[in-house]
Amino acid sequence: MLSYIIRRLLYMIPIIIGVAFLTFLLFTYFGEDPVRVALGQHATAAAIEELRNLWGLNKPLYLQFWDFLVQIMTFDFGTSFTTGESLSEIFREGALVSLKLTGPPFLLGIVINIAISLVISYWRDSYLDHVSRFIFIFSMSISYLIYIILLQYFLAYKLEWFPIQGYEEGFSGLVYFILPWFIMILVSMGPDIRIYRTIFLDQTKADYCRTAKAKGAGNNRVLFVHVLKNAMIPILTHTVVAIPFLITGAFVMERYFGIPGIGDVTITAINEGDFPILKGVTIVMAILYSVFNLITDVLYAFFDPRVTLD
């Protein structure tokens, strides 16, 4: 196990370097000139040259790329072009806000969706199964943005049950999260329940289920004990890989509800041409995705002794 983890961590090094190179290339050759974006079209040549020297953009490209790699290795991505704040501090504060937004509906959604999927699987091919499948397929066909606009309009604006948007630290600020949490759970139900239902039904056709029934185990015990346990591996794959996206936040949700998480910071950086933030977010996402893929493989072996890590 330890040798496998070390080997996978070493494999991550060329992957991160490759992502860093593509990111650097994208923003260097295909992006707008950050100095022009910052100073505007009517900036003087002297002001442009001074800002280029300040940001290190007059260095040869290989030195700029090396500086970028050093930032990745030290997790110090420099400062924002527009605000001058430390990117490490921006990411830390933004990630905490994003986790506050995405964490609770993610965990609660897993419990709710697995429970509903088990019930539907138990009553498979029944009227409940057919109606629920139609409802969830229909819900998946509706844009995420439509959920936000409609529920924000009716529940927040018309009925005034929730604030339309805003953010506040502390316990009193949770009122701003209730409606986004509800929307995120609602949106997750369609795709997640369909995936979990398929997983559970595939498991019910396995040999161990027939053996358990032959020994006298009832349908409830087979489904809620044997099937649920053996379905954990595909459920883990679906769940753990989604965790990095919790940290980077829900971009559209944060924007519409005025929540200053990583998603909102990223959209603002796109609008303002703040390339250090965009490069930092890209690299952080690549690192998190690689790490949580590794965690998923390790959890495979933990939940299923038959899995060997080579």
Residue with tokens 């990583």: 262
- The pLDDT assigned to 125 comes to 78
Residue with tokens 């953010």: 167
CATH code assigned to 91-303: 1.10.3720.10
Q: What are phi and psi of 86, to 5 degrees?
A: -70, 130
Which residues are 86's β-sheet partners?
A: 79
- The pLDDT assigned to 219 comes to 67
pLDDT in tens, the chain (310 residues): 677 778 878 888 888 888 888 888 877 776 666 666 666 666 677 777 777 777 777 777 788 788 888 888 887 777 777 777 788 888 888 888 888 888 888 889 888 988 888 888 777 778 887 888 888 888 888 888 888 888 888 888 888 888 888 888 877 778 888 899 998 898 888 888 888 888 887 777 777 777 777 777 766 677 777 777 777 777 877 787 788 777 766 778 888 888 888 888 888 887 777 778 888 888 888 888 888 888 877 777 676 666 665 6
Average pLDDT over the chain, rounded to an integer:
79
HSE of 137, CA atoms in CB hemisphere, 13 A:
7
- The pLDDT assigned to 229 comes to 73
Domain ranges of the chain: 2-74, 91-303
Two tokens at 148? 């936000």
- The pLDDT assigned to 28 comes to 73
Neighbours of 126 (CB within 10 A): 11
Rounded CA-CA distance 44/27 in Å is 23
Rounded CA-CA distance 100/94 in Å is 10
Rounded CA-CA distance 246/296 in Å is 16
Helix ranges (DSSP H) in the chain? 2-25, 34-39, 45-55, 61-74, 87-122, 127-140, 144-151, 178-204, 207-214, 219-221, 228-230, 232-240, 243-248, 251-257, 262-272, 275-303
Residue with tokens 């929540």: 259
Query: How confident is the model over 154-177, as pLDDT tens digits?
Result: 888 888 888 888 888 877 778 888
